[in-house]
Chain A
Amino acid sequence: MNQIHCRINGSPVAISSPGTRRLLDVLRDDLGLTSVKEGCGEGECGACSVLLDGKLVNSCILPVLAVSGGDILTLEGLRETERGRCIIDAFAETGAVQCGFCTPGMVMAAAALLFEHSDPTEQEIRIGLSGNLCRCTGYDMIVSGVALAAERGRGLW
C-alpha cells in the first residue's frame, strides 16, 4: 500500500491504495467522481481525461502514485467554475452532445486546450481533441462548441 496526498477538485485528499492502481478507479470507485468514464482502458479514446496540474492526462493508464502532490481537476470540479460553465453551455448550444459518454473527456480536453491557446484555430482545436473519440457527432459540432467557448469566454482563458 502507498499513501498518496494530492488535491482533487480543489480539496486536499489522502488516498491509501496500491500505487499502481489506476487513477480512474480511485476517482470513480473511491471518490464517486463518475464523470470520468472508462472507454478503451488503454489511452486511446480519452473518455477518462482529467487535468493533472493543468495538463490533459488519461486517468486509465496513470497509476495513482504518479499524481502524488499533484492537482487533479475532473468535470465535477470544472463545472463549478465560470470557465467550465462556459464550455458546457457552448457544447449544449452547438449540439456537441449526443449519447454523452465522451462528453466529460471532451470538455476536459477543450479546457486544457483553451488554457493553453485562448484563441485557437480550427486546426488547433482538432489537434487538441485528437485523443478523444466520439462515435455519435462526427466531431464538427464539438469543434464548433470549442470555438464558441473560445469566442464567448474571451478574457476567461
Chain B
Amino acid sequence: MVDAYYPGSLAEALELRTERGAIPFAGGTDLMVKYRRPAGVLPELPGPVVLLGHLDELARITEEGGILHIGAAVPLSVIESDRRLPYLLRSSASQMASPALRNVATLGGNIGNASPAGDGICALAALDARLRIAGSQGSRSISLEEFITGPGTTLLREDELITEITLRPSDCTRVFYRKVGTRKANALSKLSVCADAAVQDGVITDIRIALGAVAPKVLRMKDIEESLRGSTPEELSERIPDVLAAYEKHIRPIDDQRSTARYRKTAALRLAEEFLRNLSEEENRE
C-alpha cells in the first residue's frame, strides 16, 4: 500500500488528489504532530498523503501588475526574508514556531489547517489576502475570509489544492503586530493582533484590524474600519472607547490549555487600544 505520493508536477498532484483522495501535505508540521504515534511507529494519517513542498510551481513568489503572488508551499523562512512582501506578513512569519520549523512550514499549510490561532492567517486576513485554488475542473479565486469557515474547516473541495496567496498593494505604513504566547519560540499564540493603517494629509485613509485566536475565525470588523476611514487623529482619539466596546461584543474566545477566555479578551482589547492610541497620538504631534 502506498501511504505517500511524491508528484513530479502540480498537475500530477491534482490527479492524485482527485483519483486517490490524497491529503495535501506541504511542510507537514501540523499533520505529523497531529497523527504521531510512539517512536518507530508510522504516523496514523487518515489516508494517503500527496507531498507538495518540493513542487517548484508552488514555491515561487512573483509580482505581476503590483499584485503579489505567493506560492502556497513557500516556506516561512523565505516569507520572512523577502523584502517585496508586506512587513506585517514578514513580521508574523518571523515569529512563528522556530527556525527549523520555519524552514519547512508553509502559508498554504497554515491556511489549510485553519486553526483559529494560525498566525499567518491573522496577518493575511489584515492584508485582505485572496487564494488561488486549483482543481480538476480548473482554478478559482476566493477571499481568505470566505475560505476559512471555522476552526479546522475550509471550503477546499476533495479535488482541490491551494496554489497561491495573492495580495494587492496597500498604502498602509502604520504596521502593528503583537503575538502573545508563553515563550518567544515555538509557542502557539494565546492571541495575536495584526493591524495597519495609512494616514495622508492628517486623515486616516485606510485601517485594518485583525484579531487572532479570540473567536472561531480571525475577527475583522470591516464596518468599524470603514467608519474610521476619513477620520482625523483627534476624531479617532474620541472614538476609541466606542470602537473597543464594539469589538468587545464580537470577541468570543475560549478557555483552553494555552490561556483563558478572560485573559484573551482583555489582552486583545488592550492591544487594539494600543494600536489606536499610537495612531491618534503620533499624528497629533505633527
Residues of A within 8 A of B (CB): 1-2, 18-22, 25, 29, 38, 41-44, 46, 49, 52, 55-58, 60-63, 65-66, 68-69, 109, 112-113, 127-128, 130-132
Is residue B60 within 8 Å, beta carbon to beta carbon, of the partner chain? no
Write the nearest CB–CB distance from B86 to chain A, whole angstroms. 21
B170 to chain A, nearest CB (A): 28
B138 interfacial by beta-carbon distance below 8 Å: no
Q: Is the interface of A mostly helix, strand, loop or mixed?
A: mixed
C-alpha gap A46/B103 in the complex (Å): 13
Is B263 interfacial (CB 8 A cutoff)? no
Task: Indicate the size class of the contact surface on chain B.
Answer: 20 to 34
A112 CA to B104 CA, complexed, in Å: 14
**Contact between chains at A41 and B39 (CB < 8 Å):** yes
Evaluate contact between A18 and B99: CB separation under 8 angstroms.
Answer: no
Contact B32 A127 (CB under 8 A): no
Measured between C-beta atoms, what is the minimum distance from B80 to chain A in Å?
11
Complex contact A130–B43 (CB within 8 A): no
CB distance from B35 to the nearest CB of A (A): 9
User: What residues make up the interface of B, taking CB atoms closer than 8 Å to A?
Assistant: 2-6, 25, 28-29, 32-33, 36, 39-40, 42-43, 45, 49, 51, 53-54, 77, 97-101, 103-104, 184-186
Q: A42-B36, A56-B103, A66-B51 are in contact. Are A130 and B6 (CB under 8 A)?
A: no
List of A residues within 8 angstroms of B36 by Cβ: 41-42, 61
In the assembled complex, which residues on chain A have CB atoms less than 8 Å from the CB atom of B25?
63
Task: For the complex, give the distance between the alpha carbons of A52 and B4 in Å.
Answer: 20
Give CA–CA (A7, B3) in the complex, Å. Answer: 23
A121 vs chain B, min Cβ distance (A): 15
Complex CA–CA separation, A127 to B186 (angstroms): 11
Of the candidates A29, A43, A57, A128, the one whose C-beta lies within 8 Å of that of B33 is A43
Contacts of B43 in A (CB 8 A): 20, 22, 63
